Chain A
Amino acid sequence: MELDELKAAWQLLDRRIERLDALELGRQRQSRLSGIQRSLRWLLLGQGLQLLGGLALCLIFAPYWFKHRAEPQWLLCGLALHGYGVLLIAFSVRTMLRLRQLDYGAPLLAIRQRMAELARWKLSVEWPLFATLGCFIWIPLTLVLFGSVGADFGREAPGVVIGFFASGFACLAIVATGLRLIARAGRDPDANRWGRWLRDSALGSPIVSAQRELAELEAFTRD
């Protein structure tokens, strides 16, 4: 073995290292993607529960408003809660379909784009909508619950209902502040700790950890 032969053998070693490296990267990718799938299974479970909640609202309040269609106060409460149930179902079905469409064999960039689209939808549509509705949806629910035991706040204590709506609007102001913080965190995540925390909470830990795993995997496999 002369020096030239040693060099040739060294280049061979170089190629072997590259092959081993590629195999290792493949193994890492597989293991990380399995972790992401596991995280997203929790999201799927959450969406399943949301779907059941929506179905329960529909099953309870569709007959309810139909029965009270001659009484505007109860009709409106029933319709609001039925509508809320429909929204819960529609949003959970959409998210579940998106999750099912995720192809873990696709290039990382494609998976990241899908996840980013899901996160964008959650932050710009789902979270603002449900946070806003959440400020008020408890009012018809409370009225219906008290109504079922004979307490008609609308008639007997309208001040209480006004108070309910006032607190709903106060809650809306807090939601608006939260939305502004989230928007700021989107522009500069490092400077807005609270916004980032709110953003992560709004997205939910399965999406946050899946996005983090994807970013790490991309950094790990980039060449």
Chain B
Amino acid sequence: MKQRDAMRRQQFEALLHDHRKIVFKVAGVYARSADDRHDLAQEIAIQLWRAFPSYDASRRFSTWMYRVALNVGISFLRKEQRHTAPLAPIDAFPGLVATPADSRDDEDERLRMLQAVIDTLEPLNRALILLLLEDRSYAEIADIVGISESNVATRISRIKQQLRARLAVPVAAQPEAHSTGARPHGTR
């Protein structure tokens, strides 16, 4: 029994290690500060371990991992949005991007823009855009997020429209949907 537990733990640790970038990305998309990112990454790892007995080894681990990690990220963000002051500042990909005061780097600027775009999205749509940017197919996205493929297609099409409309004007000049608590049109 002990040996089986140890083996299961080892198997989990190896899988988590191999797919750790998923944790970093989900934490980067849903966390508002470096501390939050750290807390969220830990929470994701804990929930993955708890859910590990339900993992079906015949299926792709990354799909299952995204499903659990995104659920944790979505819950985390919803909870944060309820408890955090609406105008609390958000660090762009905390730990990964220098603060504007520290850097005028073009790459940092592009990442800040990406974060600003993601921040305009409500939690579920963040999951969709993350998976889309990861080049996942609509079928895979549907499987991970737990909605139908046609629903995924509709939502993504709306997100694209929404982004085009928003991106027609510079991101910095847009009203901050995330900080005002307002939801973009056409999202849940």
Chain A interface (Cβ < 8 Å from any Cβ of B): 1-3, 5-10, 12-14, 16-18, 20-21, 190, 219-220, 222
Contact = CB atoms under 8 A, between A and B. Distances in A.
A13 B28 contact: yes
- Nearest 3 pairs between A and B by C-beta? A9-B114, A10-B133, A16-B96
Contacts of A13: 25, 28, 93, 96, 111, 114
| From A1, A219, A222, residue with most partner B Cβ within 10 Å | A1
Interface string B91-130: 0010111000000000100110110010000000000010
A9 B96 CA distance: 13
B79 interface: no
B58 interface: no
Contacts of A8: 110
Nearest to A10: B133
| From A5, A13, A190, A220, residue with most partner B Cβ within 10 Å | A13
B17 interface: yes
A6 B117 contact: yes
B54 interface: no
Contacts of A12: 107, 110-111
Contacts of B171: 1
A196 to B, nearest CB: 13
Contacts of B160: 3
Given A1-B167, A6-B117, A190-B3, A14 B111 contact: no
B25 A17 contact: yes
B163 interface: yes
A3 B111 contact: no
B95 to A, nearest CB: 7
Contacts of B139: none
Contacts of B24: 17, 20-21
A219 B13 contact: yes
A201 B95 CA distance: 44
Q: Binding site of B, secondary structure by majority: helix, strand, loop or mixed?
A: helix
A190 B171 CA distance: 59
A220 B10 CA distance: 11
A219 B171 CA distance: 43
Nearest to B129: A6
A2 B163 CA distance: 8
Given A16-B96, A17-B21, A9 B111 contact: yes
A155 to B, nearest CB: 58
A1 B117 contact: yes
Interface string B3-27: 1000000000110010011001100
Contact of B28 (A1, A3, A17): A17
A220 B17 contact: yes
B117 A21 contact: no
Given A6-B114, A13-B96, 19 more contacts: A1-B114, A2-B164, A2-B167, A3-B163, A5-B110, A6-B117, A7-B133, A9-B111, A12-B107, A13-B114, A14-B21, A14-B25, A16-B97, A16-B111, A17-B21, A17-B28, A20-B96, A21-B20, A220-B17
A14 B134 CA distance: 10
A10 B24 CA distance: 13
